[in-house]
Amino acid sequence: MTKISESDVLAIVRKALTPADQKITIDSTSDNVEGWDSLAHLTILVDLDKVFSNKVGKINEMASASSVKGILQLLKDNSLL
Amino acid sequence: MKVSIKAIEYYLPPGTEDGAALKRDNPDWRIDDLENKTGVQVRHIAEPGQTAVDMAGLAAAKLLAAGIPKESIDFLVLVTQSPDYVLPTSACILQDRLGLRPSCLAFDVNLGCSGFVYGLAIGGSLIEAGLAGRGLVCCSETYSKYIEKTDRVSRPLFSDGAAVTLLGSSGQDDLGPFEMGTDGSGFRNLIVPLSGARTASSETDKKSLFMAGKEVFMFTMGKVPECVTALLAKSGKTIGDIDHFIFHQASKIVIDNIVRRLELPEEKVFRNYQRIGNTVSASIPIALKDAVSEKKIKKGDLVMLIGFGVGYSWGSCLVKWDGAQ
């Protein structure tokens, strides 16, 4: 499996949002980014699951991870980053 | 089980809502985005005062009108979570409405999107055990009555409808095996909280559905592929042996994700949520009927049915299609 980096995860979050091409940083959350709603979050979950070979679907806490930091932490906690 | 599906009929209320209707009530909603994710373009909405019993009655009348003697119906299972009353049992009202004989068993099953598979298991078991010769599995829901107009999670998905399936004995094993399960720890994630005996009666006037969409999505992502894989193992089949997969028509993103995880060939997966929406327990029999009508499912085809959702509850089974229309 290709090594996935933190910047790849940021790109996945950025791609899921409408409007597109927003600046996403480590401090981005669903509260301070336009369009990070529940539908966008589903897209983030699906795209993470794809790049991490179906392992993200087993991390139930991902459903409520509404910040980049939270997502990265869960990925690290589950030895995916 | 030496049981087969003999006929399916369904009823959809004529009233519909599309993206324009959602936009009128909620100008800030991005309808294109919603439709791209859910896949749902049109939903059917029951009239005020039109209930699950009413809709199931219309679907059943259509089925019985095709030459099925009412006297031959030994059981009526009504799968619904929108009963006419907390009590009596809605199936009893439906038995009387249809004029089925008093010796007919009639009872409700309070399950949602997994309910059709459970209904087949229950009805099939009654026949297999010799307790019945033939009977009806009715799935009917009016979730729209529980959904607020401003609910962006549930309103774009759920649709009202009823399907009635006639089960009867068969000379061969046309139904099963089954793989079913429950995880009640997820009960709060899809719930009408102010309902039933848990809530003080003064609070039960406002029966609004709550769905934790992200949590329910995670459940579907993990459990549904497991359920499919377990049924394949139990039946000694591979994906290649199955001619068609009929999933509960939850939404585009849910089915896309399951198909991706299982690496299913898209041509084996039937979808009709675009024009019908998510009709809860009725979605699988409606999809099955449509797939047969469109000649995608033919006599002798092996079909896997997979229901999943509220509870959490899930179930899958195999059906050897015996040629019913």
Regions of chain B where pLDDT drops below 70: 201-205, 325
Number of neighbouring beta carbons within 10 Å of residue B169? 17
Task: Render pLDDT for B1-19 as a digit per residue (tens, 0 to 9).
Answer: 999 999 999 999 999 999 9
Q: What pLDDT shows up at residue B43?
A: 98
Given the residues B44, B104, B113, B317, select the one marked as catalytic.
B113
pLDDT band at A74; cut points 50, 70, 90: very high
* The token pair that represents A63 in the structure block: 């459903």
The span from the CA of B148 to the CA of B31, in Å, is 17
Q: Which residue has the higher pLDDT, A43 or A3?
A: A43
Task: Render pLDDT for B236-262 as a digit per residue (tens, 0 to 9).
Answer: 999 999 999 999 999 999 999 999 999
Minimal CA separation from A6 to chain B, in Å: 22
Q: Which residue has the higher pLDDT, A24 or B320?
A: B320
pLDDT band at A17; cut points 50, 70, 90: confident
The span from the CA of B319 to the CA of B148, in Å, is 37
Helix (H, G, I), strand (E, B) or coil at A2: coil
Minimal CA separation from A47 to chain B, in Å: 10
Q: What pLDDT shows up at residue B207?
A: 82
Q: What pLDDT shows up at residue A2?
A: 63
Q: Which residue has the higher pLDDT, B272 or A17?
A: B272
Q: Is the pLDDT at A1 greater than 70, yes or no?
A: no
Q: Is the pLDDT at A22 greater than 90, yes or no?
A: no
Domains of chain B in start order, with CATH, are: 2-171 (3.40.47.10), 176-320 (3.40.47.10)
Task: Render pLDDT for B105-154 as a digit per residue (tens, 0 to 9).
Answer: 999 999 999 999 999 999 999 999 999 999 999 999 999 999 999 999 99
B113 is catalytic: yes
| Cβ-nearest to A63 among B30, B214, B260 | B214
Helix (H, G, I), strand (E, B) or coil at A29: strand
CB contact (8 A) between residue A64 and residue B215: yes
C-alpha B36: how far from its chain's center?
23
B227 is catalytic: no
The span from the CA of A20 to the CA of A12, in Å, is 11
